[in-house]
Amino acid sequence: MPVGWWGTRDPGAMAHPPRPVPHALRLHPRSRRDALDHTTPGHLRGPAFTTLTRGIYVAAGSPLDHGTRIRAARAALGEDAVVSGLSALWAHGIDLAEVSSPAQMTLARRVRRRAEIEVSRASLAPREIVRTAFGRTTSPARTAFDVGRLLPVPRAVAALDMLARVDPAAVSATRALAATRPGARGIRMLRQALDLVDPGSESPRESRLRVLLVLAGLPRPQTQVVVTHRGSFVARVDLGWPELRVAVEYDGAHHDTPERIRRDRDRLNRLRLAGWTVLVVDRHQLRHPDRVVAMVRSALATAAPRP
């Protein structure tokens, strides 16, 4: 029996297929007000949508990366909000934010606290704001100024290393900005981080390994050292002291293939035949920094200077 005018339904009748999400709501998070221009309140409350923060929705199944969190914060706070901190690093192409990290934004006005969004209150100069794919964003120099003051020095240096790789002028611009704010909170940490920046580092953990060694009082290593032997190229090592022929490599591989393992062994043998001592550190060893420092200190102490 078909559906009657009083709403009864034949138990054998086919259920209605799920209502599709309108195209305009599949792209980016939207506020409830904007979403209701394209769908109904009931549809918005249903399983087709996910609530990211109070009053902000995204289509269920959308990738919930940090970029989505930034766009949700933008929808929640408005166009005058400025993407800042780790979120600004993301907007500038540097992914150091954890998947669960809240979006970081800066506003000149007060707003109600929201889950999933960290808001800093500050008035930014026009030169400290640029446009990115995520809208108003702190400039590379202002981003470095904020991150370098608020993160522990090893993490700050990792961020600044990556920023210096994508924008070589960022470090000098950050120094200039810091000179105009001598009393800013965390300014000493920022200056220390700036002194340790080396754009030669190719990963955050490689940066943190280098900073660990320097802060422990070891001589500052060179990055991406090219090793040759009898006029021929041997390898390029992450960190090295060429005068002592000591190298430290960060191994970030999680699932090495047999071919990769074979190539790494061949490379290590070539370095040893060239007279180099090579130490390898992985993410598990980095959890025991004292052991790493002691190992490298011992290698440097026993190495003979190159004749």
Number of domains in the chain: 3
pLDDT reported for residue 191? 97
Is residue 123 located within the same domain as residue 43? Answer: yes
Is residue 2 in some structural domain?
A: no
pLDDT reported for residue 13? 45
pLDDT reported for residue 255? 57
pLDDT reported for residue 1? 41
Is residue 27 located within the same domain as residue 131? Answer: yes
Is residue 163 in some structural domain?
A: yes
Query: Which of 104, 119, 138 is a domain's end point?
Result: 138
Q: How far is CA 112 from CA 11, 37, 52, 175, in A?
A: 48, 25, 16, 34
Is residue 86 in some structural domain?
A: yes
Is residue 186 located within the same domain as residue 284? Answer: no
Is residue 60 located within the same domain as residue 130? Answer: yes
Is residue 193 located within the same domain as residue 286? Answer: no
Is residue 71 located within the same domain as residue 32? Answer: yes
Residue written as token pair 């606290």: 113
For residue 228, what are the domain limits?
A: 212-302
| R_g over Cα of the chain | 26
Is residue 99 located within the same domain as residue 172? Answer: no
Is residue 28 located within the same domain as residue 130? Answer: yes
pLDDT reported for residue 254? 63
Q: What is the CATH number of the domain that holds 249?
A: 3.40.960.10
Is residue 162 in some structural domain?
A: yes
pLDDT reported for residue 176? 97
Is residue 27 located within the same domain as residue 122? Answer: yes
CA–CA gap between residue 86 and residue 96 (Å, rounded)? 7
Is residue 14 in some structural domain?
A: no
Is residue 204 in some structural domain?
A: no
Is residue 31 located within the same domain as residue 81? Answer: yes
Is residue 116 in some structural domain?
A: yes
Is residue 262 located within the same domain as residue 230? Answer: yes
**Cross-sheet strand order for the sheet of 117-121:** 117-121, 103-107, 82-83, 135-138, 129-132
Is residue 147 located within the same domain as residue 107? Answer: no
Tens digit of pLDDT at every position of the chain (307 positions): 444 333 344 444 445 556 777 766 666 787 777 777 777 777 777 787 777 788 787 888 777 889 999 999 999 999 999 999 999 999 999 998 887 789 999 999 988 888 789 999 999 999 999 999 999 999 999 999 999 999 999 999 999 999 999 999 999 999 999 999 999 999 999 999 999 999 999 999 999 999 999 999 999 999 999 999 999 999 999 999 999 999 999 988 665 788 888 998 999 999 999 999 999 999 999 999 999 999 999 999 999 787 6
pTM of the model: 0.82
Is residue 178 in some structural domain?
A: yes
**Cross-sheet strand order for the sheet of 277-282:** 222-229, 232-241, 246-251, 277-282
